[in-house]
Chain A
């Protein structure tokens, strides 16, 4: 329980706009309402003949249609992943009243997280090549599949000429993109469009994920993704994500930004070699708190990485118990209602955390009925009003990426 204001220096950036595309809600408020009501967007894996696939549940953004939002030319050039990013970005910028901001083009940059890129577009093109011949590959393969496509298209669409970036650290990338954005603001930019999206549910993309053994084989969406539960058996992949406008707090105030969702008070990242997951997560959490100038007692909630693999869950709960004390802080994972969104995942967690700070309420960890006692967590199983000043968001990317950020009111 926190009583003090966060020790943010003047330059802790403020989030002034949010845009969300998620399996349980398209648009920020629709997503948040569904999340607080515990409505899950998980459903059967669909879209192709899934016979022979050992994945049966996924977080689809059913009925996502970018056509009303993007011109035909952009639609032709982009994969679903980029379209989700552009739609979310448009909403974030509108939310921030960016159109009236009077920004110089060089003062604004675009920094997104990417993970698997333009899967569907890429698979379509590579199929044409191998089935019909090289001459069938379209002009859009060179600009639609690669990991920088969303950043590039967003920069062009909105005229942002500042320093642009694309970070790949699997699920952790979204937090690292925020840190990159903070650096850009410190180096003189006025605003950053940041966040991430992912669309990993096309056949080849799913095929690439299956051999990791990390995906839940469950058939029932209500029981497929159960982090910290006795029956935890892996995660469910999903599509979508979130985009933000991040600004200098003074600049945001001067231009009359209509919303201030919260501040990026701290961030830390590290790499964990095999077997060092717990040790590195512990260090990264403490570093992030140091960066925010906060002692553990001032953290009011944790949005967990929640991978639902027993070993990784144990690492995470152990670190939380060590840092905050057993049952020492409310822990939640609204990603149980969307699946794990990779490049969009940490970004969506940040969106949820910011909305939690705004509304002073914690969303639930849906579907978990039998939290395993050995985790010693105060797991939020039902939507819970709470006094929230500072929230910690954790993200671990496959391969060893570990990141944490602190968001403050």
Chain B
């Protein structure tokens, strides 16, 4: 089930998975995940946290398509609208 998420909610999840958000500050939304200190493992963890904590199941390949928090939010939003 792909439920939308706000940027703030996503940034909170990213922070619990090890993201370094302070430096990026207000630009965190457009920072590539790598720059925020999130590697492939951390992104898998983000996926798991969303599944377990938020009831959001990301479709296969989703993480390969999005590279910044804003892209993530937009793509998830688009997907959830497709379904409904």
- A and B in contact, CB less than 8 Å: yes
* A77 and B37 contact, CB distance less than 8 A: no
Other 13 A-B pairs with CB < 8 A, given A140-B41, A143-B41? A71-B37, A72-B18, A73-B18, A73-B39, A75-B18, A76-B17, A76-B45, A77-B18, A135-B48, A135-B52, A139-B41, A139-B44, A139-B48
* A77 and B20 contact, CB distance less than 8 A: no
* A136 and B52 contact, CB distance less than 8 A: yes
* B48 and A138 contact, CB distance less than 8 A: yes
> Which residues of A have CB within 8 Å of B42?
73, 76, 139
Residues on A close to B: CB < 8 A? 71-73, 75-77, 132, 135-136, 138-140, 143
* B18 and A76 contact, CB distance less than 8 A: yes
* A139 and B38 contact, CB distance less than 8 A: no
CA of A333 to CA of B69 in the docked complex: distance in angstroms?
Answer: 55
Q: Which residue of B lies closest to A75 (CB)?
A: B18
* Contacts A77-B41, A139-B41, A143-B41; A72 near B19 (Cβ below 8 A): yes
> Which residues of A have CB within 8 Å of B54?
none
* A138 and B45 contact, CB distance less than 8 A: yes
Interface residues on B, range: 10 to 19
The smallest beta-carbon distance between B58 and chain A, in angstroms, is 13
> Which residues of B have CB within 8 Å of A73?
18, 20, 37-39, 42
CA of A132 to CA of B52 in the docked complex: distance in angstroms?
Answer: 10
> Which residues of A have CB within 8 Å of B19?
72
**B51 beta carbon closer than 8 Å to chain A:** yes
**Which 6 pairs show the lowest CB-CB distances between chains A and B?**
A76-B18, A73-B18, A72-B18, A139-B45, A139-B44, A73-B37
> Which residues of A have CB within 8 Å of B45?
76, 138-140
Contact of A135 among B17, B38, B41, B51 (CB under 8 A): B51
CA of A395 to CA of B33 in the docked complex: distance in angstroms?
Answer: 46
The smallest beta-carbon distance between B28 and chain A, in angstroms, is 14
The smallest beta-carbon distance between B32 and chain A, in angstroms, is 15
Near A by CB (< 8 A), chain B positions 44-82 give 44-45, 48, 51-52
CA of A238 to CA of B44 in the docked complex: distance in angstroms?
Answer: 34
CA of A75 to CA of B37 in the docked complex: distance in angstroms?
Answer: 12
CA of A72 to CA of B18 in the docked complex: distance in angstroms?
Answer: 5
CA of A75 to CA of B45 in the docked complex: distance in angstroms?
Answer: 14
> Which residues of A have CB within 8 Å of B41?
77, 139-140, 143
- Residue picked from B19, B39, B41, B48, most chain A C-beta under 10 Å: B41
Q: Which residue of B lies closest to A138 (CB)?
A: B45
Interchain residue pairs with CB less than 8 A apart (12)? A71-B18, A73-B18, A73-B37, A73-B39, A76-B17, A76-B45, A136-B52, A138-B45, A139-B41, A139-B44, A140-B45, A143-B41
> Which residues of A have CB within 8 Å of B38?
73
Q: Which residue of B lies closest to A76 (CB)?
A: B18
The smallest beta-carbon distance between A34 and chain B, in angstroms, is 33
> Which residues of B have CB within 8 Å of A72?
18-20, 37
> Which residues of B have CB within 8 Å of A139?
41-42, 44-45, 48
> Which residues of B have CB within 8 Å of A138?
45, 48
CA of A143 to CA of B18 in the docked complex: distance in angstroms?
Answer: 15
The smallest beta-carbon distance between B57 and chain A, in angstroms, is 11
> Which residues of B have CB within 8 Å of A143?
41
Q: Which residue of A lies closest to B19 (CB)?
A: A72
Q: Which residue of A lies closest to B38 (CB)?
A: A73
The smallest beta-carbon distance between A119 and chain B, in angstroms, is 21
The smallest beta-carbon distance between A153 and chain B, in angstroms, is 12
CA of A138 to CA of B43 in the docked complex: distance in angstroms?
Answer: 11
The smallest beta-carbon distance between B20 and chain A, in angstroms, is 5
Near A by CB (< 8 A), chain B positions 14-28 give 17-20
CA of A138 to CA of B18 in the docked complex: distance in angstroms?
Answer: 13
